[in-house]
Structure 1
Amino acid sequence: MTPIPRAPLLLGLAGLIPFLWGAVTLYSAPLATLGADLLGPRFVGPYIQLFYGSVILSFMSGVLWGFATRATGPQAATGYALSVIPALWAFFMTGGGPTGAATNLIFGFVGLLMLDYAFARWGLTPEWWMRLRLLLTAIVVACLTTVVI
């Protein structure tokens, strides 16, 4: 079992900052006020989590597309088709209010994890991929849950 390389681990963890910041500012009025004053109201609470979550699901579609390039024949076609699902999910399922959008993002990230697993089973991802994705997905889902409860 190879360890997660340092660069992907650190960059993945850094990518959690908007989710964590959004969760913290949901529970801390002083930090929410400070964040809104310094960054604008779109960068606190559920707003940053929902917008950034949509961006990340779309980004992950691109990552899966890249993995699909390693496949051939029908498996490649299946990989390409599956790779667009997270971006389409983000586009179609994050409208409406924050609770519904956050719930749909949670389902989107859990679904993405299942796609990650399929691509890993097909041998298209690095050996350490699922350990990284499990860690990041668990934290993202926990953060998005703060919007739903």
Structure 2
Amino acid sequence: MADGIDAAPVVRPPIAALLLGYAGLLPPIVAVAVRLIDPAKGGMMLALALFYSALILSFLGGMWWGAVSARVAGAALTLWLGIAVVPTLVALVAGAVLFASVLSASAIVAAGLLGSLLVDMALVRAGHVPAWWMKLRLPLSVGLAVLTLLTGLLAQP
């Protein structure tokens, strides 16, 4: 560089991760669109979107499990694996609450998605995931959390 300061390398997620990650937002987007266009058919779509969001939340824990299993051992591995099962438990709680309140279930899943970012940041700091991780995880988690809350709101009578 002209000023003698080295620029930090640009670290971008792989194209496949970007395409597949953002494609993962399509199910709740389609559900919201169907609900707005045809409310009679939209109810089932919203239920599927909420179920999908809970599956993605659980999937995040699986990603964490795989990432740390390849790099960590001993007591640290036990801690990380314990953290990795939390998203599935949060999704399960949301499923149980769903029978009483769709909006509450949506809020639980959305909170889990947003809370997952704290673990993602810790994984980056510990060097257990690629440097580009948060460039993908942040917009996807926030986007899915917002869409999940929206599905809960739209599902209200």
TM-score class, shorter-chain normalisation, is 0.7 to 0.9
| Matched letter for residue 74 of structure 1 | A
Q: Deviations over 1:45-72 (max 9, x none)?
A: x212111011111111110101111122
CA RMSD of aligned residues (A): 1.8
The answer to whether the 8 A contact 1:94-1:104 is kept is no
The offset of 1:5, in angstroms, is 0.4
Alignment length (residue pairs): 140
Q: Distance in 1 between matches of 2:95 and 2:108?
A: 6
Question: Which of residues 129, 145, 152 is equivalent to 1:141?
Answer: 145
2:36 to 27, 30, 34: 27
Counterpart for residue 48 of structure 2: 48
Q: Is the counterpart of residue 118 in structure 1 residue 122 in structure 2?
A: yes
TM-score when normalising by structure 2:
0.81
1:120 is matched by which residue type in structure 2?
V
Q: Tell me which residue corresponds to 2:104.
A: 100
Identity of aligned residues (%): 31
Q: What residue is the counterpart of 1:17 in the other structure?
A: 26
Structure 1 segment 55-94 matched on structure 2, within 5 A: 55-69=55-69, 70-94=71-95
Moved over 6 A (4+): none
Q: Which has the greater radius of gyration?
A: 2
* Amino acid aligned to 1:15: G
- Distance in 2 separating the partners of 1:142 and 1:16: 11
CA displacement, residues 8-38 of structure 1 (integer Å, 9 cap, x when unaligned): 11111111111211222232227x64xx7xx
Deviation at 1:75, TM superposition (A): 2.0
> TM-score under structure 1 normalisation?
0.85
User: What do residues 89-143 of structure 1 show as CA deviations (whole Å, max 9, x unaligned)?
Assistant: 1012233221111011111101111111111111100110011000101211221
| Structure 1, unaligned runs of 5 or more | none
